[in-house]
Amino acid sequence: MSDLLAKLDARTLKAGGLIKQREKDIFVARIRVAAGNIDADKMIKAAELAKKYGRGFCHFTFQQSIEIPWVKLEDFDSFRRDLDAAGLSLANCGPKVRAITACSGCTINPYGVVDAAGLAAKADERFFGVETPHKFKIAYAGCPIGCPNPQGNDLGFHGMVEPELHADLCNGCSLCVTLCNSRGNGALKMSEETQLPERDLEKCIYCGECIVGCPTEAWVAKRVGHAVYVGGKHGRFPRWADRVADFVSDEETFELIERVVQWYREHGKRGERIGYTIDRLGLEKFRREVCGDRFTTAHTWNARGDRPVLESEVARE
């Protein structure tokens, strides 16, 4: 064991991805996996490390990292050398941007409308390990189903799509209307005059269910982008994120990460998650200073972000 490791305390080791277990001088080694994707050969190397330094056991975290438990403190130097040789690196804990999570997105999932995994990998290269007042978790989801839980992360994105009907391809089967009523927000109905589906712009939540389900491919994507959520967290006192922008482009997601992290670094107190910073200073201040007039939402979303508040309802209030 090196003199350096002998001087490190458990908090420092945890920040670098080595987490103390209950047993004396035994640690969990957390391996960084960006966007939930890892090369198969590297997966094999991780398994070999688990056999050599642990007890032949790996754990997949909710943050999509790989953990190897039961690594001895005395083996850290050797473990790190083998880890580097395998092309792997440790993840992190503590007040930093964590490894960015994602689903498979449009490259694999038929519901995906954006390349969640590809974007998350690029974002991870740029922002992983940036220091923040508290932990900062980022998630990319390919569609509004939101499997990586963008609403429960400090900053989350999910794909959204504005549909457009090519009337000449529509056979009037009304399947899209049925799907929209059961899985969407009831934005579609069949026109008695044309026998074609009509979309209520106030009700459409841009989920793309009509596009995925259309048997004749009459519904197509007119516009694709990302919905943006800020301030979500789990834990003892969970907080649902605020939806602050819609139809943000791929490149603009990186810009927003930078803007949000910078705002958090300037205004957040040590040990305070960004959601509580927003609660303390006000959502409008955050919107004004981070989003401005450029990043806005397509609807006035309610507190949980699950149904849009229609303009007609706002007018009645």
Q: Which residues of 115-153 are buried (b: 16+ CB within 10 A; e: fewer)?
A: bbbbbbbbbbeebbeeebbbbbbbbbbbbbbbbbbbbbb
Query: What is the four-CA torsion angle of 29, 87, 45, 136, rounded to 10 degrees?
Result: 40
Domain edges within the chain: 3-85, 101-160+225-316, 161-223
Q: Looking at the DSSP assignment, which residues form a beta bridge with residue 228?
A: 157, 245
Q: What is the CATH number of domain 101-160+225-316?
A: 3.30.413.10
198 burial via Cβ count (<10 Å: 0-12, 13-18, 19+): middle
Parallel, antiparallel or unpaired: strands 197-199 and 188-190: antiparallel
- Say if residues 246 and 224 touch (Cβ distance below 8 Å): no
Residue 1: the pLDDT is 43
CATH number of the domain at 3-85, please?
A: 3.30.70.3340
Its pTM stands at 0.89
CATH architecture of 161-223: 2-Layer Sandwich (3.30)
Distance CA 9, CA 295 (A): 43
State residue 6's pLDDT score: 47
Q: How many residues does the chain have?
A: 317
CA dihedral 99, 150, 95, 39 (to 10 degrees): -10
Per residue of the chain (317 residues), give pLDDT as tens: 444 454 557 667 767 778 889 999 999 999 999 889 999 999 999 999 999 999 999 999 888 899 999 999 999 999 999 999 999 999 888 899 999 999 999 888 888 999 999 999 999 999 999 999 999 999 999 999 999 999 999 999 999 999 999 999 999 999 999 999 998 889 999 999 999 999 999 899 999 999 999 999 999 999 999 999 999 999 999 999 999 999 999 999 999 999 999 999 999 999 999 999 999 999 999 999 999 999 999 888 766 666 666 655 544 44
Q: What is the pLDDT of residue 170?
A: 97
Same fold, 3-85 and 101-160+225-316: no
Q: CB 53: neighbour CB atoms within 10 A?
A: 21
Helix (H, G, I), strand (E, B) or coil at 71: strand
CB-facing half-sphere around the CA of 1: CA atoms within 13 A = 12
